[in-house]
Chain A
C-alpha cells in the first residue's frame, strides 16, 4: 500500500484551478521532494494532502484512508510555515498538549524524550515566547515527531531554520528514513532536499510535470530537473 496516493486532485479558488489533475504516489519508505517555484502550488498541495482543506475533485489516500480520518491523522506529522506551538506555554507544556491530543499513553515521558532529542531539555520550562528563533524551530520539529508519525509532511522545512535546527532536522529525517518512514517535503532549496530524496516531483503552475526517482544527475546538479522538464 502507498503511504500517499493522490489521484486526479484539483483544487479551486473559485474557478481558478490552483492544482490541476495531480497524480502522485509515494511508496512506504520513500522520500519525495516536491519542487517548484513560489506560487506553483507546493504549499497548497501539501496542505490538501495533510487534510487542511478539501480537494475540489479527486481523491487522496494516506495509507488507504482519507486524510480527515482519525487513523490517517494519527500517522501524519506536519511542519508548516508556522511553528504551531503556543507562545504562552512552556516547551514541555506544548509538547504534553500535543501528546494528549494524540492520545499518547505517556505524554510527559514522550515530551521529555523529544525535548532531549532536539536539545531543548534545559529550557523545558521556559515559555516559548522567550525562545530564540532556532529554539522555536527545534520545538516545532519535536512537535511534529512527537507521536511517532509514519508519514512526515514538511512544507519548506529548511527555509526558515538556522544551522543547528537544519542539522537536527536532517539527522531526524535520516533516522526516520532508516526506520522506513515516508517523507514528503516541498522545497526550493534543492541541495538539502535532494540529499534525502529518493523521488522528485516538479510542480509548475499547479501541474506535476515530472515525477520520478531521484537520479545521480539531479543530486550533482540541482538545476537539472528544472532545465530538463521546466519551461525555460
Chain B
C-alpha cells in the first residue's frame, strides 16, 4: 500500500490542490466507496438478492440439521451462509461497471488502481457485513442459539473473516468481469483460495457462539486470519493495476 500511496505524490504536486499523498489516497478510496454504495442503495439489487439468499439457506439448514447438531457446527453453517451470500454481492462489484463502459472512465481517472480496488473492496465489505449482521440474529432465532455470549470477540472474527472474503472476492471480481461464465467462475476460483481463512473463521466462530472465548489454544487461528488478510490485501493492491490495464 505504501508504494501505491507514494505514486500519488504527483497528484499532490498539482499546484491548485496540495494535499499530502496519504490523505489524497484515502480521499480517493472514500470517493469510490461512496459511489459504489450509493449506486447499490439506489437499486438494492445485490443486497436484496444476497439477503434473501442468506435467509433461504438458513431456513434450509434448519430442515437439514437437528438443533443439537447446529450448535456444534454453528461456525461452519454461518460461514457457508456468509460465503454464499457474499458471492452474490461480490459478483456485482465490477459487473456494475460494465453496462456503460464505466470501468474505462475509472481507469482513466487520475486515481491509483489500488485506491480504486480498496474503495470497491470497502463498499463490498460494508454490504457483506450488513447481510451477515442480519443473518446472525436470524440464525440465533431459527436454531435457538444464544450467540451473543462472546459478542465482541465474535464481531472481531466476523470483521476479519469478512475482510478476507471481500478482498479475495473483489480482486477476483476484477479478474472475472470480462470472462465467460463469470457468475460461476468467481466462487469456483475464490472458495479454494479462501479455505484457510474460512477454516479459521469457522473454528473461532463455533467456539465463540458456544460461549468459549478465544484462548491460548485458538489464538493461532486468529493470528492466521489476520495474516491472511494482510498478505492478500498487499498482494491484491500490488497486482490490481496489472489486472486492470495489463
Contacts and interface: CB of A to CB of B under 8 A. Distances in A.
Answer yes or no: A and B touching, Cβ < 8 Å: yes
Interface of A: 50-54, 68-71, 73-74, 76, 78, 80-89, 93, 97-98, 100-103, 105, 127, 143
Contact of A78 (B35, B42, B102, B108): B108
B106 interface: yes
Given A71-B10, A87-B99, A97 B110 contact: no
Overall SS of chain B's interface: helix
A88 B43 CA distance: 7
Contacts of A88: 38-40, 42-43
B107 A51 contact: yes
Given A50-B108, A84-B101, A74 B14 contact: yes
A121 to B, nearest CB: 21
B14 to A, nearest CB: 7
Contacts of A78: 104-105, 108
A74 B110 contact: yes
A80 B104 contact: yes
Nearest to A143: B105
Contacts of B112: 70
B28 A52 contact: no
- 10 A-B pairs closest in CB distance: A82-B101, A84-B105, A88-B42, A101-B109, A73-B110, A88-B39, A82-B100, A70-B110, A100-B31, A74-B110
Which of A51, A98, A127 has the largest count of B CB atoms less than 10 A from its CB?
A98
A88 B246 CA distance: 29
B105 A93 contact: no
Given A98-B109, A101-B28, A84 B11 contact: no
A50 B245 CA distance: 11
Give the interface size bracket for B toward A. 20 to 34
Contacts of B8: 70
Given A86-B39, A87-B100, A127-B42, A101 B110 contact: yes
Interface string B76-91: 0000000000000000
Contact of A101 (B7, B10, B17, B31): B31
Nearest to B43: A88
A44 B226 CA distance: 42
B24 interface: yes
B16 interface: yes
B7 A76 contact: no
Nearest to A75: B110
B185 interface: no
Contacts of B101: 80-84
A53 B107 CA distance: 10
B245 A103 contact: no
B108 A103 contact: no
Given A52-B245, A54-B245, A86 B100 contact: yes
